[in-house]
Structure 1
Amino acid sequence: MKAIEVMSALAQPTRLEVFTHLARARPDGLSPGQLAERIGTPASTMSVHLTILSRAGLVSSTKAGRSITYRAEPDAVRDLALFLMHDCCLGCADVTDPKPEQMNCCCGERVKSVIGDDPIT
């Protein structure tokens, strides 16, 4: 299940910090070197963290020449929250009110879950 992969990726403190830095750097993103410098991690270690975050769908990358820029994918975290609120806590008004389907991301798009088995409608 995708939710487990997302939670597992964010459960490691350095990866959570990397995601936080990338989320704050949106929409421009950061290079692996910039991230390594800000966090104080060797570049080789940063590469491993970025690979795990990328596989979980938490970050994306673009390549321009020899430069790679990573960007946070906030939809993955939002989808995790929706999965936990809607699919795990369905019927619990304390958790699901306001309704998860009414949540909007920072860009104003309507929320749709891709983590659970069925999209929220």
Structure 2
Amino acid sequence: METKLAVNAFAALSQETRLDIFRLLIKAGTGGQPAGALAEALGIAASTLSFHLKELEHAGLVTSARDGRRIFYKADYAGIREVIDFLMADCCNGDPRLCGPYIVTRTKEECC
């Protein structure tokens, strides 16, 4: 993941409502949540929710899919994993006792 993309993800999550939305979608799992349920759970207007969801989608943290008249939003686990990998890539100088599965394996050309 490029630094610029990571910064976009962190910027999206640095706003309280977006972080709340993101956490709800993580809890919802792979089934996601319809937009209306998210708005109701957070007590926010649909237009406000739409603005925040757009920011999360743009950052690669959320995806959407239409099902009839409803739009379901889901956490983008591949995007989330990229952010985690970005953060943990150089963790503890690669010591598996400290970072275990978070260490990203890189070729010599990529890291040196």
Category of TM-score, reference length = shorter chain: 0.7 to 0.9
Tell me which amino acid in the other structure corresponds to 1:41: I
Partner residue in 1 for 2:101: 102
Q: CA deviation at 1:35?
A: 0.4
SS of the residue corresponding to residue 64 of structure 2 reads strand
Are the counterparts in 2 of residues 10 and 16 from structure 1 also a CA contact under 8 Å?
yes
Tell me which amino acid in the other structure corresponds to 2:27: R
Are the counterparts in 2 of residues 9 and 53 from structure 1 also a CA contact under 8 Å?
yes
Paired-residue identity, %:
40
Alignment CA distance shift 1:100-1:61 (3 Å): farther
Matched, 1:59 2:62: yes
5+ residue gaps, structure 1 = 104-110, 113-117
Q: Distance in 1 between matches of 2:45 and 2:15?
A: 16
Partner residue in 1 for 2:26: 23
Bigger proportion of residues as helix: 2
Tell me which amino acid in the other structure corresponds to 1:55: H
Aligned residues: 103
Q: Which residues of 2 match residues 1-121 of structure 1 at below 5 A? A: 1-86=4-89, 90=90, 92-93=92-93, 96-98=94-96, 102-103=101-102
5+ residue gaps, structure 2 = none
Following TM superposition, where does structure 1 have runs of at least 4 consecutive aligned residues deviating by more than 4 angstroms? none
Q: CA deviation at 1:28?
A: 1.2
Tell me which amino acid in the other structure corresponds to 1:15: R
Q: CA deviation at 1:100?
A: 6.4
RMSD between superposed Cα atoms in Å: 2.6
Partner residue in 2 for 1:107: none
Alignment CA distance shift 1:7-1:100 (3 Å): same
SS of the residue corresponding to residue 36 of structure 2 reads helix
TM-score, normalized by length of structure 2? 0.78
User: Which entry has the higher C-alpha Rg, 1 or 2?
Assistant: 2
Q: Distance in 1 between matches of 2:64 and 2:49?
A: 14
Q: Distance in 2 between matches of 1:4 and 1:22?
A: 21
